[in-house]
Structure 1
Amino acid sequence: MQLVVRVFAGLSDALGASTVTIDIHGETLTGAELKELLSRAYPAAGGLIRTAFIAKNQAYASDSDLLFVTDEIAVIPPVSGGQQEPALRSSVVDESLGLHRITTSPLTADEVSVKVADDEHGASLVFIGTTRRTTLGQRTVLLEYEAYVPMALKTLQQISDEIRSRWPGSLTAISHRIGTVPVGETSVVIAVSTPHRADCYEASRYAIERLKEIVPIWKKEVWEDGSQWKGPQSGPWNPMRTT
């Protein structure tokens, strides 16, 4: 039997494709077995494969979970929150789920903040993430973002559900741009509104930190003299960590 696997960002670069096909014995295998097969087939990418997580039907799965040939399987390298996958580079992407949006179009704060307007809320905050000129002494030309779009939208919804559970009555809307984002332009807008301001500050910070932890969006920094995929900036990456 054959299992079709989607790969992204630096892993896609290393394997030379955005999808790979692996021969398996039978109709199932575990996530750990899939990573072992991939590591044998692509030994130069073994280190990145071993630190990746498996996604099964657009949700993170553990290494012990069974994967079936009928499942939608992806290998998710550490997210940063890349470069757009080859199939999307010349395409327009604009997909939404509830209050959340993934798009190749420019973003504005107003179009996101209006989604969380509520007469019962006394506080609202808008976080805007932009491409900065210099990072650790290196001059940035632009950023390129890639997303596993359907799963990214689901995990954005997960974040707003977590925020609503922690801060009852809150509303959260998140829009993220993919593709090329030049210096000074916006890559992400997060709008949060709550009945009280203290909750709003905390919920807004929670949203961006959680986005960088679990949403399958990758960032590639392009400099004047090179480029690099950026993984998590602090500590080991574990998108299945409970909050």
Structure 2
Amino acid sequence: MRVTVRYFAIVRELLGRAVEERELPAGTTAGHLLDELAREHPAIERLRRSTMLMVNYQYVPPEHVLQEGDEVALIPPVSGGSGPFAITTDPLDAESVARAVAWPGAGAVVTFTGTVRATARGKAVHYLEYEAYPPAAEQAFRQIASEIQERWGIDRVAIVHRVGRVEIGEASVVIAVASPHRAEAFDACRYAIDRLKQIAPIWKKEVYEDGEVWIGSEAAYQQAFGHSTPPVS
């Protein structure tokens, strides 16, 4: 059978490619595929403990059996509702995202806007680069909204994240939550950004004058390679 394998962020840079097609015997599991890739590429072997697997935009365990035409993604560590749930290269507008969830029964519309700051880890940041696995990230946004609805009964949630180069002071993510009461809206909005950082396949690279680093993957780099920034060819 034939499957598509996609690589992102750290793994993509180390392997020098974003996608490839592979022929596999019937009955191959996602874990077997990862074993095969790790044998071929020492970089994957060194990062495998912090790498997760997705098949057709869903996280899967290693024992998941692959099927003809599946899309498999190796997910390095990552830095539901009314929507929109979107990955975009366009500049973000917090007001338009808030309007998307507003409704007559809302006593509160809470928004969170994450912006690029000029310094981090004691260094001057020139700009950020975001990379995402868009269909899977948008599915993760829907999952977060579903969790919010189950926990707080709120069904008016929007999450929009920008990818590509984002300059100092520009917005990288906007989350909006509308609820009859402010306390639940604040709690749900904070939950959404915290949960996004846990499960959404989105990666952030900080670019400095003297180097760059994938944030959220720094510990994995240090463990695998003994330094905090990836090798640059």
TM-score category by the smaller chain?
0.7 to 0.9
Note the alpha carbon deviations across 1:34-87, whole angstroms, 9 max, x for none. Answer: 11111111013312233211111111101111112321111111111xxxxxxx
Q: Which residue of 2 aligns with 1:144?
A: 129
Deviation at 1:98, TM superposition (A): 4.1
CA distance in 1, matches of 2:125, 2:103: 39
3-state SS of paired residue (1:67): coil
3-state SS of paired residue (1:14): helix
Q: Which residue of 1 aligns with 2:19?
A: 19
The residue type equivalent to 1:14 in the other structure is: L
Note the alpha carbon deviations across 1:113-154, whole angstroms, 9 max, x for none. Answer: 001111111111110001111111011110001111111111
Contact 1:4 1:69 in 2 (8 A): no
CA distance in 2, matches of 1:58, 1:215: 11
Gaps of 5+ in 1: 81-96, 235-243
CA distance in 2, matches of 1:133, 1:118: 36
The residue type equivalent to 2:167 in the other structure is: P
Aligned match for 2:171, one of 170, 179, 186: 186
CA distance in 2, matches of 1:28, 1:64: 10
Does 2:66 match 1:67?
A: yes
Gaps of 5+ in 2: 220-233
Query: TM-score, normalising length from structure 2?
Result: 0.88
CA distance in 1, matches of 2:26, 2:146: 35
Q: Which residue of 2 aligns with 1:35?
A: 34
Aligned match for 1:163, one of 111, 136, 148: 148
3-state SS of paired residue (2:184): helix
Q: Which residue of 1 aligns with 2:197?
A: 212
**Number of equivalenced pairs:** 217
3-state SS of paired residue (1:65): coil
CA distance in 2, matches of 1:73, 1:159: 22
Deviation at 1:30, TM superposition (A): 1.6
Q: Which residue of 2 aligns with 1:44?
A: 43
The residue type equivalent to 1:101 in the other structure is: A
Q: Percent identity?
A: 45
Cα RMSD over matched residues? 1.8
CA distance in 2, matches of 1:2, 1:152: 24
Q: Which residue of 2 aligns with 1:239?
A: none
CA distance in 2, matches of 1:206, 1:232: 22
Note the alpha carbon deviations across 1:155-188, whole angstroms, 9 max, x for none. Answer: 1111111111111144111111000001110000
The residue type equivalent to 2:30 in the other structure is: G
- Which residues in structure 2 correspond to 1:124-139 (within 5 Å)? 124-139=109-124
